[in-house]
């Protein structure tokens, strides 16, 4: 694996990650919530959540078949839900943060429930060349999905420590590659670089920050794609843009934000600025439209990011779940979320 040196000492000390007392840390200090604030957040999420955080109508999607995917042109990108994105590059398939479960939760009888079914089942998916993981939270790393993908996936690319979880679950260790920030690996001619993000990790009460979180740069010849994973806004986007941009497409977190956790998830204004920092050409907002993970209306991330992109003359695409986005012939997509509840778009 290659290590890419940062060119950003004057901006921020974005070196490789380091653990302190067994925990990974962000390069920019993220204030802790504290017990009282954490309790208040959970109380509000349980008992004061607005009704519009879940759609009343049916989320439209375009069902996919294996045959459609096999016949799709290279550089096709398919949103399958939340942060799960299927990419076709070099006649092979690459999958980010696969979550096909009914709930983003440690149990399937409680927790955030899907708004829609995946456009294609795990069983119907063609063989996967690599699964690319950003971190270990339940809405990004799903145990059952990983188990079902284990036999049909050739490689699993993960931040440090996350790969150990996969191996513990039964994934063949020879398939797992764990990367630190700024480390890269080549898979079938495509370069993958784990780059910094500003977030946290943990799947239980006592394993906080014991594994690393990351964003990802993907370079396929003259095409470049950025996958944000989960992150707050930080100077690292400028560093990544300087070192690896411009990007043909940025898959950017746009959803599950809140004023109570400003450092670990981006507001839409920050998402747009991060895309600009990365020198992105087309922005495709993800981390929305599938699970209820905050207090905002389910459609608000789409409303806000589209309006902001129009104001700043940024090319943005909002495909339906399952609808193809082409790097070769990019298209904006339709404002499909407006039809779910007969919303009136105030920015038109």
Domain count, the chain: 1
Residues 130-147: what's their mean pLDDT? 98
- Read off the CATH number of the domain in which 124 is found: 3.60.15.10
List of E strands, the chain: 2-3, 19-20, 23-24, 76-81, 84-89, 92-96, 128-132, 153-159, 176-179, 183-187, 190-195, 215-220, 223-227, 247-253, 280-286, 315-316, 324-326
In a domain, 42, yes or no: no
pLDDT at residue 343, as a whole number:
62
Residue 52 is assigned to a structural domain of this protein: no
Please give the pLDDT value at position 40.
73
Tens-place pLDDT, residues 24-50: 999 887 877 665 666 676 667 767 789
| Domain-located, residue 346 | no
Pull the structure tokens for residue 172.
Answer: 């063949």
- Give the mean model confidence (pLDDT) for residues 99-114: 95
**Which range of residues forms the domain containing residue 275?**
65-340
User: Three-state SS for 164?
Assistant: helix
* pLDDT averaged over every residue in the chain: 92
Instruction: Summarize the confidence of residues 302-320 as an average pLDDT.
Output: 98
Domain annotation covers residue 335:
yes
pLDDT more than 70, % of the chain: 90
In a domain, 278, yes or no: yes
| Mean pLDDT in residue range 290-316 | 97
Q: pLDDT of 179-238, one tens digit each?
A: 999 999 999 999 999 999 999 999 998 899 999 999 999 999 999 999 999 999 999 999
Structural contact between residues 195 and 184, judged by C-beta atoms closer than 8 angstroms: no
Interstrand relation of 19-20 and 23-24 (parallel, antiparallel or unpaired)? antiparallel
Domain membership flag for residue 31 = no
Residue 29 domain flag: no
> Using CA atoms, how far apart are residues 343 and 257, in angstroms rounded to an integer?
21
Helix (H, G, I), strand (E, B) or coil at 139: coil
pLDDT value at residue 38: 66
Q: Tell me whether the omega of the peptide bond preceding residue 84 falls within 30 degrees of 0, making it cis.
A: no
Distance CA 77, CA 95 (A): 10
The region of weakest confidence among 94-98, 209-213, 271-275, 340-344 is 340-344
Higher pLDDT, 17 or 145: 145
| Residue 113 falls inside a structural domain | yes
């Amino acid at each position: 694996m290659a290590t890419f040196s940062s060119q950003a000492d004057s901006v921020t000390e974005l070196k490789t990650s380091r653990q302190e007392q067994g925990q990974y840390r962000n390069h920019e200090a993220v204030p802790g919530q504290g017990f009282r604030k954490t309790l208040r957040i959970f109380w509000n999420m349980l008992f004061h959540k607005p009704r519009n955080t879940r759609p009343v109508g049916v989320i439209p999607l375009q069902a996919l078949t294996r045959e459609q995917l096999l016949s799709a042109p290279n550089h096709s990108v398919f949103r399958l839900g939340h942060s799960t994105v299927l990419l076709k590059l070099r006649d092979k398939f690459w999958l980010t943060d696969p979550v096909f479960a009914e709930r983003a939760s440690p149990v399937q009888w409680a927790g955030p429930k899907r708004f829609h079914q995946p456009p294609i089942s795990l069983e119907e998916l063609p063989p996967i060349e690599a699964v690319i993981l950003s971190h270990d939270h339940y809405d990004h790393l799903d145990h059952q999905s990983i188990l079902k993908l284990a036999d049909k996936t050739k490689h699993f690319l993960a931040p440090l420590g996350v790969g150990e979880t996969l191996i513990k679950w039964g994934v063949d260790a020879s398939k797992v590659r764990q990367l630190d920030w700024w480390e890269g690996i080549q898979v079938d001619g495509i370069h993958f670089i784990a780059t910094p993000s500003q977030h946290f990790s943990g799947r239980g009460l006592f394993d906080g920050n014991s594994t690393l979180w990351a964003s990802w740069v993907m370079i396929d010849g003259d095409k470049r794609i950025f996958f944000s994973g989960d992150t707050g806004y930080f100077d690292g986007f400028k560093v990544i843009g300087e070192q690896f941009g411009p990007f043909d497409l940025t898959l950017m977190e746009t959803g599950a934000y809140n004023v109570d956790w400003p450092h670990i998830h981006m507001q839409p204004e920050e998402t747009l600025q991060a895309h600009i920092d990365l020198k992105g050409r087309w922005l495709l907002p993800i981390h929305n439209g599938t699970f209820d993970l905050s207090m905002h209306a389910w459609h608000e991330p789409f409303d806000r990011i589209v309006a902001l992109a129009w104001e700043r003359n940024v090319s943005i695409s909002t495909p339906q779940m399952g609808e193809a986005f082409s790097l070769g012939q990019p298209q904006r997509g339709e404002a499909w979320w407006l039809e779910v509840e007969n919303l009136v778009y105030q920015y038109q």
